Amino acid sequence: MTGIFALDLPWLTSRFDVATGAIDGVPSVQRYLADLRGCFADARAYEAALARGNPLVYSVASVEPAHGAGDLHYGLAVVHPGRVGGEYFHTKGHLHQWREAAEIYLGLAGEGAMLLESERTGETRLVPLGEGHVVYVPGYTAHHTINTAAVPLAYLGVYPAAAGHDYGAIADSNFRSVVVERDGRPVLLERAAFHA
Ligand code: S6P
Ligand code: ZN
């Protein structure tokens, strides 16, 4: 029998820290600018930014116990403020390996957005994600988060334990749209238009 059916689990209750992105007793993954090669549309601006330093772009602490079909996983992420060639700092983004798996995002602090791109229909949606926002990410949808403010963006993502992460498709062809700062405001542009 697999699955979480006992009540003596270390992760039955946990404390998390919105400021640091830490969850007690759980490992955290740090993604620095150098880890995000290919993720920003302006490759020259990326190399120039990297020459100036290698800031922390985001961290994710994930609670992912061995699972059964009905179990849940969750992660606390903090995306720091910053831009590369006008494009706001954002997470790598992924599809779920089990394409049907949906996910709930709960915004805890800061201000930002989520870029959703349907693998099935090709539709793109930019939806707000910040303190007080909930976003439902349907299955078959590539998703990443974007910090559009000057303070850290923190959120929890809750997903089926069987979801898995597929970073390959995004690493190969990237999102079709980018979110850039124009006159102090976030604007959604076609990646091709941004290059032009
Ligand atoms: C997991 C969930 C989040 C992300 C986090 C970092 O399904 O969507 O916890 O892991 O936003 O993004 P990424 O694309 O680096 O995993
Ligand atoms: Zn996800």
pLDDT tens, position by position, 71-84: 999 999 999 999 99
Q: 177 C-alpha to center of ligand 1: Å? A: 18
Reported as a pLDDT band with limits 50, 70 and 90, residue 8 is confident
Ligand 1 close to Cβ of residue 93 (< 6 A)? yes
Answer yes or no: is pLDDT of 165 > 80.
yes
Contacts of 151 (CB under 8 A, 6+ apart): 81, 109, 110, 111
Ligand 1 close to Cβ of residue 90 (< 6 A)? no
Under a CB-based contact definition with an 8 Å cutoff, are residues 12 and 24 in contact? no
Q: 95 C-alpha to center of ligand 2: Å? A: 7
Domains of the chain, first to last: 9-64+72-193 (2.60.120.10)
pLDDT tens, position by position, 54-109: 999 999 999 998 778 899 999 999 999 999 999 999 999 999 999 999 999 999 99
Closest ligand 1 atom, CA of 75?
9
Q: 93 C-alpha to center of ligand 1: Å? A: 7
Ligand 1 close to Cβ of residue 117 (< 6 A)? no
